[in-house]
Amino acid sequence: MTTRAALEAHAVTKIFPGVKALDGVTLEVRAGEVHALVGENGAGKSTLVKVLGGAHAPDEGRVTLDGVPLPHGDPVAARRAGIGIIYQEFTLVPELTVAENIFLGREARGPFKRGPFLRGADMVRDARAILEKLGADLDPRTYVKRLSVGAQQQVEIARALASDARVLVFDEPSATLTDQELTRLFETIRELRSRGIAIVYISHRLEEVFDLADRVTVLRDGKHVVTTEIDGVTRTQLIHWMVGRELEDEYAFRPREHGETVLQVESLSDGARIRDVSFTLQRGEVLGFAGLVGSGRTESALSLFGRLPRTSGTAALCGEPIDFTHPAQALKRGLGYLTEDRKKHGIFGDLSVAENITVSNLFDYRTGPFVSSRRQLAAADAACKTFDVRTSGVDKKIAKLSGGNQQKALLARLLCRDLDVLILDEPTRGVDIGAKSEIYQLIYDLADRGMGIVMISSDLPELLGTCDRIAVFAQGRTVGVVDRDGATQEKIMELAVSEDVA
């Protein structure tokens, strides 16, 4: 095994509006090693991968391959130089064959050097050679849409190798694979390593990291924490590196009296992404949902809200069984849900702030069959005052407001009616610090009034700072509920990355 650095990122900084996604991060990957990249959601792993692959141009710093700097923000140049990225979402074209996908954009053409026709037979022959080297038993003439997820991943890898990749980056490759496919992937990766290819492996599953990696780099909040040999590192140590920041009291938690149970969920399942979810929620309580992306938190919320179907399990709201098939029913019975994707599923960008706030209960502002503009505007004005939505006028387009103010407007929309339970999905995502504290205060006020609050968040310190209890999700199941006293990030992460919870 050589110790020469193949791929290096030097002090890379990437700033998005309002967020420093990467802050002087350095990564050095050697030829013939598997280098694991770990960190919490939002630590900057995906951004770093995109910088390496040329999908993002860094604001500062540079990426070099064998000492040669790569041009910034040029995916084609990165690929030509020999960096292959296997994204979590595959980039294959399902309607083309394996061979056509492997050579997409670099097709063999004829009859002369750059003639107009494909040299299909040549492509099939070359594809077969690459697949054989990879140990993949695939016919290059099969259509990609007929392949399993694992086989599609092999095609992705073959495509990277076809352009002579010397560095392969795997962005959470295990998330969608079965156990057998995973074993197969590990064999492939070890084989590639022995051929001197440098491999970056990103995963939430720490077991895989210990199993596969030679060295590991930990990122936290966009900063480089440590790079070390994997031998001698304990799991607890690694988790501490991933989450170990000090809590500041931006949360200003206030203890409350809790009332009777307002929402009780037993063994909720949709047969796919929700497998066994149970929890109870009391009046005046803030219950956190912790877990990794894809652990079923949002799906559970949407299922309760009537947006996604469920196949088994029971739920009771204020003691009455519920099984909503449309969000309108949930809202009517007093269960509200605030979406995690404000732009895509929350706001009506072309409509005014007033229209956005009143849209879900227009029938309440009628005189006869008509909506009274006067009452609509008055209600919106009042809501803006109550929820401190800062706008130069409720007739302005909501798209012109800041993220925090849009979020408060959406809360105002939900709270136009009386709710018993409010589920907030990532309520502070993309919101600046000041507005964050205001949203926390708002949540406490609602809880004080006897509402039961569920807060889904990928920000562990936020959950620890604001919640009375935290339910931890892993692979579609609630694997534990942790009380506020005695809850630590380590404890929650242990649960969240736990595997094979039967």
Partner 1 sequence: MNAFKHALVILARYGIFVALAIEFVLFSFLSPHFFDLGNQVNVLHQNAPILVLAVGMTFVILTAGIDLSVGSVVALTAVVTAQIAVGDWAPVGVRIVGALIGGGIVGAICGCLNGLVITKVRIPPFVATLAMMLIAKGAVLVYTNARTISGLPDEFGAIGQSSLPHALFHIVTTLALFAIAWVILRFTPFGKHVYAVGNNPEAAHLCGIRVSMVLIGVYLLCGSLAGVGGLMLSTQLNSGDPKLGELDELEAIAAVVVGGTSLMGGRGSVWGTLAGGLLIAYLKNYLTLEGLPFFWQKIVVGVALILAAFLDRFRTEE
Binding site for partner 1 (CB under 8 A): 305, 307, 326-328, 330-332, 337, 339, 344-351, 355, 359-360, 362-363, 366, 369-371, 373, 413
Measured from the CB atom, is 33 or 355 closer to partner 1?
355
Give the shortest CB-486-to-partner 1 separation in angstroms. Answer: 36
Q: What is the dihedral of CA 232, 291, 20, 44, to 10 degrees?
A: 50
Query: In the block, which residue shows the tokens 């610090």?
Result: 433
Q: Which is nearer to partner 1, 276 or 340 (CB)?
A: 340
**Secondary structure (3-state) at 187:** helix
Distance of closest approach, residue 331 Cβ to partner 1, in angstroms: 4
Helices (H), 334-401: 353-358, 373-386
CB of 347 to partner 1, least distance (A): 7
SS3 of residue 306 by DSSP: coil
What's the burial of 439, exposed, middle or buried (CB within 10 Å: 0-12/13-18/19+)? Answer: buried
In the complex, the smallest distance separating the C-beta of residue 444 from partner 1, rounded to whole angstroms, is 25
Give the integer Cα–Cα distance in Å for 402 and 400: 7
138 contacts 98 by C-beta, under 8 angstroms: yes
Query: At its nearest, how many Å lie between partner 1 and the CB of residue 349?
Result: 7
Complex with partner 1: residue 138 or 354, whichever CB lies closer:
354
Query: What would you report as the CA-atom Rg of the chain, rounded to the nearest whole angstrom?
Result: 26
Q: Tell which residue, 347, 336, 266, 279, has the closest CA to residue 306.
A: 336
Min separation Cβ 396 and partner 1, Å: 15
Backbone angles phi, psi at 91, to 5 degrees: -110, 20
Nearest approach in angstroms of CB 32 to partner 1 is 47
Q: Which is nearer to partner 1, 46 or 352 (CB)?
A: 352
Q: How far is the CB of 307 from partner 1 (least distance, A)?
A: 7
Nearest Cα to Cα of residue 361 among 308, 417, 318, 316: 417
Least distance (Å) from partner 1 to the CB of residue 208? 34
Nearer to partner 1, 46 or 376 (CB): 376
Q: How many CA atoms lie within 13 A of 477 on its CB side?
A: 12
User: Please, how many CA atoms are within 13 Å of residue 268, restricted to the half-sphere of its CB?
Assistant: 32
Q: Least CB distance from residue 350 to partner 1, whole Å?
A: 5
Residue type at position 438? E
Residue with smaller CB distance to partner 1, 105 or 368:
368
Q: Could you tell me the smallest distance in angstroms from the CB atom of residue 401 to partner 1? A: 15
Sign of CA dihedral 243, 246, 249, 253: positive
> Residue 429, class by beta-carbon neighbours within 10 Å (0-12 exposed, 13-18 middle, 19+ buried)?
middle
State which residue, 212 or 322, has the beta carbon closest to partner 1: 322
Q: Which is nearer to partner 1, 96 or 371 (CB)?
A: 371
State which residue, 67 or 369, has the beta carbon closest to partner 1.
Answer: 369
Half-sphere exposure of 215 (CA within 13 A, CB side): 18
Q: What does DSSP assign to residue 411?
A: H
* Contacts of 409 by beta carbon, 8 Å cutoff, 6+ apart: 347, 353, 356, 357, 383, 384, 387, 389, 398, 401
Sole residue written with tokens 């309108």:
328
Which CB, 45 or 310, lies closer to partner 1?
310
Please identify, using beta-carbon distances, which residue of 106 and 366 lies nearer to partner 1. 366
